[in-house]
A and B are shown apart, each in its own frame.
Chain A
Amino acid sequence: MSLPKHLQETFSPEEIQFIVENEPIKIFPRITTRQRVNMVNKNASQHWKLITTDDWALNNMVATQSTTVVLWIALLLKQQSKCSIVAPEWLTVRALDRHIQYEKKNTDRFSELPWNWLVLARILFNRAPEDFHDPVHELRSRIQDLREIRQTKVLKGLKYLNESHLQLDNLSLLEINELRPFIVDIMDKLREIHSAAVVAGNEDGNNEEDDFDFS
């Protein structure tokens, strides 16, 4: 088939990264692309234009003045050391410690990390390690801690798989993605068994549809 089997019902990690790379992020440019006023009219036609994303920010960069661009552009600029990436505010030792505290205190829920925290942390640690205010190894270990705490919670939550629904508040995209094949398969089987029993019991064929709540 045109789509290989392992891609047919879930995303690959590379695709998750691709999705995350479409998010805006703050950078400090090291180049200036803003034209001076008297030059604008003359050179306007030579300016670049992007069709995939908003090019205004790119055309108005002033060195060391923070601006917001899409992550994939930021990474490209970073590769050529034409900018430094500003770490998001949740990616600091203090904020991560707060999240860890929250995770430990509330054993029945996940803390409010952004949906792309794992992927974004990995990308930034690899590509922009010198742009953090806090030492990277500490951030790394905290991210690892958070991941482990949340994983144990996920394992606990899997006991409550049922045939109707599941609530996964604040679970990030990567965490959902690695669970998806497992959870969806099991819930499908449970629902099949359940609805077969219902149909056999009273010929009442209103089996429920997939209403998993991956919020």
Chain B
Amino acid sequence: MYGDLANKLILEAKRTQQLNHNSNQLPMYHEDLVRKVLREVTQLKNTTDFLKEQQQLPSDSAIQNDKVLKCQYFVTLLCMERNKRCLLAYQKLRSDVLKSLAWGSNDGPLMSATVDTNGLSHMEQEYLKEYSGLITELKGGEWTDIDLSGSLTPPSDVFIDVRVLKDAGEIQTEYGVFNLIKDSQFFVRQSDVERLIQQGYLQKI
């Protein structure tokens, strides 16, 4: 039946949502499924065109015919609406994940774009790029002194102990130079190293 394919897409979206509950990752874009749904919509569109032609044909029992045609029109329309709704829900969910990715990890002081863009459709890649651009624009505008994409946990300690997890050589942060040797520890101001913690070089103790 019409709408069954779209249902599969929704189940996929549901799985993505649950996956996303635990970790911010995005499975592959279901291009073939989406294409099938779109083909179905095209078919439905052809049906309506056909019905339109039928209506214009002169027929003997015009009133009877009219009622049937109306019903057929309406059901076809409903099928299309259903497909549209499922497609949009799937896409909206994915775009929400993309947005949270763009806010979360895509914008260190180095602007390291480390999101894997293989599983995305090229439209989504475009969207992600432009959305990141919008975020940068927002941060570069009126509120430059606040790091809008910074950590959302309120600051509790001014100075913290951090341990270096990954060897990274000498890294220049805005507040000075660190020599990040693996398994060394630092006692530093939290605001200096927040970025490096986010990127996974340091571990807070």
- A contacts, CB < 8 Å to B: 1-5, 7, 12, 14-15, 17-18, 76
Contact = CB atoms under 8 A, between A and B. Distances in A.
Contacts of B201: none
Interface in B124-159: 148-149, 152-154, 156, 158
B152 A4 contact: yes
B100 interface: yes
A14 B152 CA distance: 10
14 contacts: A1-B99, A1-B100, A2-B99, A2-B103, A4-B100, A4-B104, A7-B152, A14-B153, A14-B156, A15-B154, A17-B156, A18-B154, A18-B156, A76-B158
Contact of A12 (B96, B103, B153): B153
B153 A1 contact: no
B22 to A, nearest CB: 12
B145 to A, nearest CB: 14
Interface residues of B, number: 12
Nearest to A1: B99
Contacts of B152: 3-4, 7
Interface of B is mostly: loop
A4 B151 CA distance: 11
A5 to B, nearest CB: 8
Nearest to B154: A18
Interface string B94-118: 0010011001100000000000000
Contacts of A5: 100
A139 to B, nearest CB: 22
Nearest to A75: B156
Contacts of B100: 1, 4-5
A90 B138 CA distance: 47
Nearest to B153: A14
A1 B131 CA distance: 11
A121 B144 CA distance: 38
Nearest to A4: B100
A13 to B, nearest CB: 10
A161 to B, nearest CB: 25
A76 B159 CA distance: 11
